[in-house]
Amino acid sequence: MNAQKENFLLAVEGLTVSFDGFKAVDDLSFYLDPKEIRVIIGPNGAGKTTVLDLICGKTRATAGSIRFGGKELTKMKEHQIVHAGVGRKFQNPSVFEDLTVFENLEVSYSQGHTVMGALAFKRDAAVVEAVESIAETIFLSDQLNEPAGLLSHGQKQWLEIGMLLIQKPDLLMLDEPVAGMSVAERKKTAELLRVITRDHTVLVIEHDMQFVGDIADRVTVMHQGKVLSEGSIEHVKQDPKVIEVYLGH
């Protein structure tokens, strides 16, 4: 194995999954650098969501490897992968509507930490500090005591990102984070992702090309389970193969 490849945060190599003989992901390889923000784009059915399902252990690979910080994820269970530092947000927000913003973040914090009774007081102070800091990052400082059910769709998306962030994952995976958001909310989400990548690597699936251009370091274009093109947004936008199967439609 190429020694240089050990510097990647995530190395996906030869990844394949067959559903009844249909290869949804087919010999796929890509590499993420630490603190990079990568966007996967591609037509419907290209296999984008399945890639995230494979990385987080929801779907088992038929072949190939996913190495993350020296660990082989294809052999691990979902909760072990979360514990190893991979956070995944699905397309629809799944916050606890009856709990306040504070409580939603608090619950997530406790999931990411070992509870030690003897340190209860210190832990409480640490929780409050972590919750307040994350709330500020996700633009929800003024809503801390509101039930999450009263938030706008966009604010719920941010809260769910915050619920992942508070568990301090090294890799954050987001499936269409700006779907259903207003233009103003999309701009703020781009801002949020730029702040997040100071400390985390982010892998995003997105269709909104304006948003992709605003956030991506590099773009991977998928088609029929394979990488069709990869590079800067300018590079992939001008690639005739990408125009033919995706952008030209």
Footprint of ligand ATP (CB under 6 A)? 19, 24, 42, 44-50
Taking the least distance from each CB to ligand ATP, the nearer of 37 and 54 is 54
Taking the least distance from each CB to ligand ATP, the nearer of 20 and 142 is 20
Q: Give the nearest distance from C-beta 51 to ligand ATP in angstroms.
A: 7
Q: Give the nearest distance from C-beta 224 to ligand ATP in angstroms.
A: 9
Taking the least distance from each CB to ligand ATP, the nearer of 24 and 192 is 24
Strands (E), the chain: 10-19, 22-32, 37-41, 63-68, 71-72, 86-89, 171-175, 201-205, 218-223, 226-231
Q: Give the nearest distance from C-beta 244 to ligand ATP in angstroms.
A: 17
Class of residue 5 by CB neighbours under 10 A (exposed 0-12, middle 13-18, buried 19+): exposed
- Beta bridge pairs of residue 99: none
3-state DSSP assignment of residue 32: strand
Strands 63-68 and 71-72, bridge-based pairing: antiparallel
Taking the least distance from each CB to ligand ATP, the nearer of 47 and 57 is 47
Q: Give the nearest distance from C-beta 42 to ligand ATP in angstroms.
A: 6
Q: Give the nearest distance from C-beta 245 to ligand ATP in angstroms.
A: 12
Closest by Cα among 13, 175, 25 to 91: 175
Contacts of 120 (CB under 8 A, 6+ apart): none
Strands (E), 73-184: 86-89, 171-175
Taking the least distance from each CB to ligand ATP, the nearer of 100 and 224 is 224
